[in-house]
A and B are shown apart, each in its own frame.
Chain A
Amino acid sequence: DTGVSQDPRHKITKRGQNVTFRCDPISEHNRLYWYRQTLGQGPEFLTYFQNEAQLEKSRLLSDRFSAERPKGSFSTLEIQRTEQGDSAMYLCASSLEANTEAFFGQGTRLTVV
């Protein structure tokens, strides 16, 4: 599968723990996006990267959240001191350049207990 891949697919963690998710975009895609989707809702934008630069962050992204894309290829999303409200599907998407189709990964489902 040469699409966007995300790891892990599922994560169960205790409240207060830190978690990190990884996204590998389609090769040569410059733009990488993170979205969050809670049950019964559509995906909500969190942040995006143009190569290694993080250019936009949603107000949904509290200071417990941090995202990186150090070499302009894969990206990580870390959540510190997880809360039950963080339970959601975290989706990654990539696109070749501006105004082109965004391809989504299968997501990481986080459950905070």
Chain B
Amino acid sequence: AQRVTQPEKLLSVFKGAPVELKCNYSYSGSPELFWYVQYSRQRLQLLLRHISRESIKGFTADLNKGETSFHLKKPFAQEEDSAMYYCALMNNNAGNMLTFGGGTRLMVKP
């Protein structure tokens, strides 16, 4: 069975500090991973997916198959980054449904 774990429920940093939101997964196939973000009172939206290898809003995430991790990083946090972040794994054998982690709330203090 596939599983996504985000060990931190809350991460609090000061503006300008580096951020790393952790995500570990278990999946028997070739994983396809995503980070979704939910800003206050807004809908869940895609932040980035590992196959695109893009940097969105200064965030990057590298898939590490050896450690089964897909941590989200940003070198300098901004107050507007404060949000809920969800790591998700796509099941290509079940209609591309997503398995989400429990989420990490990022708070960036001024």
Residue positions of B touching A, CB distance < 8 A = 4, 6, 9, 32, 42-46, 49, 86, 88, 90, 92, 94-103
Return the contact of A44 from the options B90, B96, B100 (Cβ within 8 A).
B100
CB distance from A113 to the nearest CB of B (A): 24
Q: Quick check: B43 and A33 within 8 Å, CB to CB? A: no
* Among A35, A42, A105, residue most surrounded by chain B Cβ atoms (within 10 Å): A42
Contact between chains at B97 and A42 (CB < 8 Å): no
> Which chain A residues lie closer than 8 Å to B100 at the CB level?
42-44
- Say whether A104 faces chain B, with CB atoms less than 8 Å apart: yes
Which of B44, B92, B96, B102 contacts A41 (CB under 8 A)?
B102
A23 to B86: give the CA distance in the assembly, Å.
Answer: 22
CA distance A42 to B44 in the complex (A): 11
Closest residue of chain B to A48 (Cβ to Cβ) is B95
Are B92 and A56 in contact (CB-based, < 8 A)? no
Contact (A42, B96) CB under 8 Å given A104-B44, A107-B43: no
- On whether the beta carbons of A91 and B102 are closer than 8 Å, the reply is no
